[in-house]
Amino acid sequence: MLSDEEIAAIIELGYEQRSIEFKAAGSRTDRRFLALIARAALALANQRDGGHLLIGLSEEGIDADSSGLSDEQVDEWLSYDDLSDQINSYADPPVAIQVQRRSLPNSRPIVVIEVAEFAEVPTLSKKDYPGVIANRSLYTRSMAKPESSASHSQNELREILNLATEKQLSRFIETARRGGLSFSGLPTDADAFGAQAASVQGGPTYFAVPEVEHALIEIHPSTFDPELIEYRALARSVRERAVSWRGWPFPFVRDPQRGDDWVGESVDTLDGIEVWQFFRSGLFVHYETIGTRPPDFGSAEGDRLLPIWMPLLHFTEALEFASRLQRAHWPESSTVVRVSLNNIEGRHLVAGRHRNPLHGQYVFNGEQWSREIVLTAEQALTSTRGNAVRLALDLVERFGWMRGSEDGFRAIQDEVFGRESA
């Protein structure tokens, strides 16, 4: 999503771009105006990387009385469900959008609608609005001038066909692999993400985390696109989507470093070391040491302890962060989340900072616990807490503790984070 600073830079250019369309102030209840917005959304969805609609920019300039939106208009456009339904009443298949309030350099409010490129096949209009949208038409953004049009040059049609072909080929390869068909010498999406994840170790943000006990979280879309996210959007995306339910953010963002296709950071805190990197492909890698700084959850005898609530809360924050990334950058695709605890042999599971509440010895006997889940677009919206509970229960059972329950772990989430409906 565009920031206020990026909007100011676009306005300073003084003209629209192929991926940016300006619209004057208007109401969502104005049917003709809404049809114009829908036409622009359809056109933006039919080009690589989609684009943005800026609503509230007057042709007379940003300081004109007609620039900006009223509070009532802002509220209308920010009603996501209603807006998505109205735009998609013209779209087949539906377009994926995000909408946020932003400010002009003179502080007047506008609304930005971010439109994702089509997921599998180009989007067609599915009904008429006289003089604005024609049924069964394919709208694109013209390469000759920045406008939404159903009249296409060969270059515009070639772009759409190439994009659709790439998506269908990727889908075929993924389906074939799931069916057991191998492609000799052709790297898989998992291979590509794995290579990026491995590059974090030994990189400029990295401490020697594998030498100590640590939790590892990897998040990425199901398919690999090395240019999925604009480079300039990486750091802002992590900041805006960090989860701060406990009073501090996951991930901890202070002053990220920048690589060729990633941003990342190492943070040395009172509780240990946190390392994260976020790549243009959508891969997010997060290392965090376990109990290496006071308070070390250890008894007077020096036992290495793991409170049952610690992984539960960590997994909950990580899955919520994953769902936010998915909604922002790959809303139509599934998300792979891989979690692991490493070098934890001999750790004792406890209810809190002491052993006694569990009434027994529960010790992890292996070096590593690791699980992978795949979230569909719908599950990322509705099932993050439930999946975190199931991961945490799977972990504590490997310590030999079988008394955990989904209701009990849900109660911990509600106590710490507040009820999910809140």
Answer whether 277's CB lies under 8 Å from 285's CB.
yes
* Residues 276-317: tens digit of each pLDDT: 999 999 999 999 988 644 344 444 344 578 888 999 999 999
Same domain, 207 and 148: no
Residue with tokens 């990727």: 170
In a domain, 177, yes or no: no
Identity of the residue numbered 206: Y
In a domain, 81, yes or no: yes
- Residue 271: count of CB within 10 angstroms of its CB: 16
* Residues 148-182: tens digit of each pLDDT: 888 777 777 888 888 888 778 777 777 776 666 66
Number of domains in the chain: 2
Distance in angstroms (rounded) separating the CA atoms of residues 37 and 77: 11
Confidence of residue 200 (pLDDT cuts 50, 70, 90): confident
In a domain, 17, yes or no: yes
Answer whether 314's CB lies under 8 Å from 409's CB.
no
* Nearest alpha-carbon partner for 411 in 307, 309, 306: 309
Distance in angstroms (rounded) separating the CA atoms of residues 263 and 242: 14
Answer whether 55's CB lies under 8 Å from 37's CB.
yes
Same domain, 154 and 274: no
Phi, psi dihedral angles at 273 (to 5 degrees) = -115, 135
Same domain, 210 and 324: yes
In a domain, 86, yes or no: yes
CATH number for the domain harbouring residue 146? 3.30.950.30
Give the DSSP H/E element, type plus range, for residue 384: helix 384-398
Q: Show the domain range for 90.
A: 4-164
What average pLDDT does the segment 80-86 reach? 92
Out of 102, 130, 164, pick the residue that ends a domain: 164
Phi-psi region of 136 (alpha: psi -120 to 50; beta: other; left: phi over 0): left
Same domain, 231 and 138: no
Answer whether 169's CB lies under 8 Å from 243's CB.
no
